[in-house]
Amino acid sequence: MAVEILMPALSPTMEEGTLAKWLVKEGDVIKPGQIIAEIETDKATMEFEAVDEGRIGKLLVAEGTTGVKVNAPIAVLAEEGEALGARPKATTPAGAPVPLAPVPAAPVATAPAMTAKPPAAAPRAGGARVFASPLARRIAAERGLDLTRITGSGPHGRIVRSDVEAAGAMAAPEAPAPIAAAVPAAAPKGTMPTGMAAETVMKIYADRAYTEVPLDGMRRTIAARLTEAKQTIPHFYLRREVRLDALMAFREQLNKGLESRGVKVSINDFIIKACAMALQSVPDANAVWAGDRILKLKPSDVAVAVAIEGGLFTPVLRDADKKTLSALSTEMKDLAARARTKKLAPHEYQGGSFAISNLGMMGIENFDAVINPPHGAILAVGAGVKKPVVMADGSIGVATAMSMTLSVDHRVIDGAVGAEFLKVLVEMLENPMALLA
């Protein structure tokens, strides 16, 4: 019987995407694990692999088609002996599970910080046959997972790669009790104030020349999340100034030693490392908001804002406190480069408990950043500026000072905790040798 291949969901908030490219054509025989299409979301272009063996009977969606809804049929897989172009007798109902799984850039060792642990699937009764793709069986064997305890989301309940990977993540370290809607969901249409209607605004400027720019998926997502953040998160702001002269001298010396390895550490790399270590020193600041509770993280997973054309990414440097400055520098450069070409996998920009937004290289001296939910805080970093200061001996001197503003979610972090975090951060940045300890 012919099987429909459905448009997959690549993230908790994805509702539609663009079928960028088919890597197969009608009549091609495909095998499980074979990459058959590239699909663009608001954040990235992802490759997708076949779950079942068969022949492509019909491509239902043309390359370049935008606005393809999640779970909409995009192709038909015909079994041996079936005519090409045949549609399944019983089509997959709307909202059915997705039969294709994204191919991540690297395996995810633990579940994302903001994802709650759902109950395990019940074992199959009476020793019933387990239907699973060969790739799913191989991954399950490698990870020691029992397929009889995994619920399949593929066609006819078949277990696919994403089911096994999700089960592996849930078998990782114990998480708190299940949380309803731990991942912020997109607000239903019409429930969030959007300001003036488009027609009203266009009437105001009817006699002026303008160019209309349609919103793409990324810009829509940014608008929705920032509106949600400012409307639902009680922000408060803490400001500190740090003197960079010792750090800049230490950086120059360090880069000379790293020159032979082709590594050049930036001021931002020092800030990432210092924030990661400060989160370990002040663990109450290493937390996220999870609807009806707070999750305090053990690792320091630091997100860093990267500006790209039309928006931004916040790739996450996981276990940043355990990595050397040179390792952080190399990883950050790689993530930033792939972010600008939209080649990041979802697990590389989701998660984290804390974020950094640095506009210093653009000459901005200070600003207030908007928290990226469910993070508990974000650090806005300004430019280093030479200014007169009072030295330790009471004399007047010149120092390079940098402004930092910590935007804090008051539901997660209290003022005293935020102040302690900034105190530790300033001490580390003004005594950079401690970052090598």
3-state secondary structure of 291: coil
The arrangement of strands across the sheet holding 235-243 comes to 235-243, 396-409, 377-390, 354-358, 302-304, 316-317
- CB under 8 A, 24+ apart: contacts of 154-157: 154/51, 154/52, 154/97, 154/99, 155/3, 155/4, 155/51, 155/52, 155/92, 155/99, 156/3, 156/131, 157/131
308 — phi, psi (to 5°)?
-130, 170
Whether residue 375 lies in the annotated active site: no
| CB atoms closer than 10 angstroms to residue 280 | 16
Give the DSSP letter of residue 102: B
Torsion of the alpha carbons at 255, 256, 260 and 262, rounded to the nearest 10: 30
Contact 357, 380 (CB under 8 A): yes
Alpha carbon distance, N-terminus to C-terminus of the chain:
62
Strand-pair partners of 312: 307
E strands, 276-319, are: 287-289, 294-296, 302-304, 306-308, 311-313, 316-317
Return the H-helix or E-strand segment holding 348.
helix 346-349
State the catalytic residues: 410
